[in-house]
Amino acid sequence: MNGDDPATRLPSQMIGEKRRRASKLRDAYIRQSVENDVSNGLIKELASVCIEYWSVLREFRDEPIVGDEDYPDVEPIRKRLGLESERITKSSGTWDNEWTCEKGPAVLELNPEYLLELTHALDDLSQKLGFGAAAAQDVEVFGVDSHPTRDDDP
């Protein structure tokens, strides 16, 4: 199959879409972290993109270039999918800042830093599988010859 075949382009497009989404969510996490206000919605989105990205890349688990060790551990997310948990939170807005018990998706128990690092590990796996952008071989630098020859010596 050649690279112009729609069957070979579809996985690349799907992986590219997940990679872009993960990047946007990382950016949003950084912005929210600066304000010390990471939202539950963002944590849920990060967990979601991690599982989706991993699932798309899982299709290539039998490729000779990768091994099981290249696939990051998403089990902490998977075991929380579809589950609810209770967390103790401090109520803001009341005069005495009472502690309350709040129910929500179990993925909110995950450390957002784990999710952030997981997106980076998935990007690394994507790159190893050949779905990332290739770095330019010849970097043009103003005033510097990237291929000096003996003829260039004074």
Q: What is the pLDDT of residue 152?
A: 53
Interval 49-70 mean pLDDT? 95
Q: Is 125 exposed, middle or buried (0-12, 13-18, 19+ CB in 10 A)?
A: buried
Interval 93-100 mean pLDDT? 68
The number of C-alpha atoms within 13 Å of 152 and in the hemisphere containing its C-beta is 7
Where residue 18 falls among pLDDT bands split at 50, 70, 90? very high
Task: With CA atoms as reference, report the closest residue to 88 among 96, 97, 76.
Answer: 97
Residue 87 in any domain: the answer is no
Interval 123-130 mean pLDDT? 94
In the chain, % of residues over pLDDT 90: 62
Residue 20 in any domain: the answer is yes
Query: In this structure, what token pair is assigned to residue 63?
Result: 């490729």
Question: Given a cut of 90, is residue 99 above it in pLDDT?
Answer: no
Torsion of CA 15, 19, 24, 28, to 10 degrees: 120
**pTM, to two decimals:** 0.75
Residue 114 in any domain: the answer is yes
**Count: domains in the chain:** 1
Residue 142 in any domain: the answer is no
Residue 44 in any domain: the answer is yes
Q: Which domain holds residue 46?
A: 9-80+110-132
Average pLDDT, the chain: 84
Residue 125 in any domain: the answer is yes
